[in-house]
Amino acid sequence: MRKFSPEEKIQAVKRYLYGKESGGEITQSIGVHHSNFHRWVKQYKAFGDEVFIKNYTTYPTQFKLDVLHYMDKHGTSIRETAAMFNIPSPESLRIWKIAYESEGVDALKSKKKGHLPMKRGNKLAVDGKKETLQAENERLRMEVEYLKKLNALVQSKEKSPNKTKRKSSMN
């Protein structure tokens, strides 16, 4: 599926609202699904030109709850609700809904992403981690050597000429 720039979306919506083309003609000419196009129109009517400019944001827990309660109370679809609250991706709403239904309010709390920043002067923690990794590495080396020796021992016992054979009892 092709991604559309904010300018392309605005131009398509304006062609629909202020031109003489139908929604079907526009969706066919630009190659977008009609449901996505109608979501663009709703968003544009509600929020204007700025609606399609992506703003990467985290939403507060209370906002997420309010959106989900609105959707349940009014029976609006995920796409309609996303358009009403200017949430760029309806998929976000779907994820919130599933998380809320399965895990409750705590699942809606924002989680920090990425690595924790290293603090200056925290060389002891880095050195401690390095020593731990070195110790684990040495333990794994010893384990590999032990398994090699064990394997060699088993191999040599299987090849040994003194190996006794079981007598089969045949009557």
**What does the H/E/C string look like for 67-129?**
HHHHHHHHCCCHHHHHHHCCCCCHHHHHHHHHHHHHHCHHHHCCCCCCCCCCCCCCHHHHHHH
- Between CA 79 and CA 155 the distance in angstroms is 66
Mean pLDDT, the chain, whole residue set: 83
- pLDDT: which is higher, 51 or 5: 5
DSSP string for residues in 6-34: HHHHHHHHHHHHHSS--HHHHHHHHT--H
In the structure, what pLDDT confidence band is assigned to residue 46 with cuts at 50, 70 and 90? confident
pLDDT at residue 24, as a whole number: 92
For residue range 110-169, what is the model confidence (pLDDT) as tens digits? Answer: 776 666 666 665 565 666 788 888 888 999 999 999 889 888 888 888 887 665 555 555
pTM for this model (two decimals): 0.45
Q: To which residue do tokens 């959707």 refer?
A: 71
DSSP annotation of 52 reads: G
Q: Is the pLDDT assigned to residue 1 strictly greater than 70?
A: no
Please, is 11 exposed, middle or buried when counting C-beta atoms within 10 Å of its C-beta (0-12, 13-18, 19+)? middle
Q: What percent of the chain has pLDDT over 70?
A: 82
For residue range 8-28, what is the model confidence (pLDDT) as tens digits? Answer: 898 999 999 998 889 999 999
